[in-house]
Amino acid sequence: MTEEQNRVRLPPDEAFSTLGNEIRIRILSELGDADGPLSFSALYDRLEVSDSAQFNYHLDKLLGHFVRKLDDGYALSRPGQRVVEAILSGAVTDDPELDRTGVEDRCSACDRQLEIAWHNGSIELFCTDCQRRWERSWGRVGGPQEAPLGYLGRLPFPPAGLEDRTPSEILQAAYTWTNLELLAVASGLCPRCAATVERELNVCEDHDASEGPCGACGTSYAMRLTASCTNCLYSVGSAAAWGLLPTPELLTFVFDHGINPIAPNSAHRLDQVLNEYDETIHSLEPFRATMTFTTDGNSLHLTVDRSLGIREVA
């Protein structure tokens, strides 16, 4: 990218100080709510502020970057839309309460009812009877913390996603949301900012997860995938299988067995394929490992290299 393409129109501190006023946030929200551009008087009426000079002053501060004046009135620019979207998603303001609650879905390992809870921007998933899959949760403020018993993992999910949904619907929606994120990551794109993510396959050479998370790596998976954005703070870690989700081989296998990973109608079955698979490491140099996915009694064996390129299908 050239310097000209990369020019910053508004420094971040100025952008945020411009937004730091209640009337300006209400102007953005009203414009976001309108079906089309609003005239000065229509916008003024909607805001119900007492003083038109004050209203004019705040509108003027937003003009240019967040709001544009068109022939037929005022409208949000794309940055203004992004601000309204961020507010409405609740991601920067809300901290909903959802303590551990049972869902209809059952644990793919023991068939007991699963539970979900909300924590710091993620839905955390638990089985009341199984060993946890991860010793630590990476979703906690300040870094990874020891995970509660039965912790199966977390699905990033904005607060607005909890509204008007039953716990089971929340879990299904959180799978859809997370899978869409992971598809972007698997294609090398950051789902937050569209910059490049760097992926790394972490391999535990001393892996033993026969009685809960392995003592050496703290997880049930000998191969784990981590991805970090080269531009923003986004990072994610998962069982390595999720990195194969966008491959035709694994996609065809799950679709052929009636599982749609983009909109899973059964979180249980998708989880079973993508989290309860077998892994065998054949060699470290060159790296070769086979992941075996099973559903409905059918198996797919995918042998991969260090960058999760598929070397063999059986």
Q: Which residues bind Zn ion (CB under 5 A)?
A: 107, 109-110, 127, 129-130, 190, 192-193, 195, 204, 207, 214, 216-217, 229, 231-232, 234
- Judge whether 281 and 223 are in contact, CB under 8 Å: yes
What's the min distance (Å) between Cβ of 14 and Zn ion? 22
Q: What are phi and psi of 102, to 5 degrees?
A: -70, 145
What's the min distance (Å) between Cβ of 162 and Zn ion? 24
What's the min distance (Å) between Cβ of 301 and Zn ion? 21
What's the min distance (Å) between Cβ of 214 and Zn ion? 3
Nearer to Zn ion by Cβ, of 132 and 207: the residue is 207
Helices 52-62 & 22-33 angle (0-180, nearest 10):
80
Alpha-carbon gap, residue 254 to 183, rounded angstroms: 15
What's the min distance (Å) between Cβ of 215 and Zn ion? 7
Residue with tokens 């599982």: 259
Nearer to Zn ion by Cβ, of 30 and 181: the residue is 181
Nearer to Zn ion by Cβ, of 110 and 313: the residue is 110
Nearer to Zn ion by Cβ, of 160 and 281: the residue is 281
Nearer to Zn ion by Cβ, of 129 and 305: the residue is 129
- Judge whether 140 and 120 are in contact, CB under 8 Å: yes
- Judge whether 193 and 233 are in contact, CB under 8 Å: no
Residues β-bridged to residue 137: 145
Please report, for residues 108, 153, 242, 302, the alpha-carbon distance to residue 101 in angstroms, rounded to integers and kept in the order given.
Answer: 18, 15, 26, 36
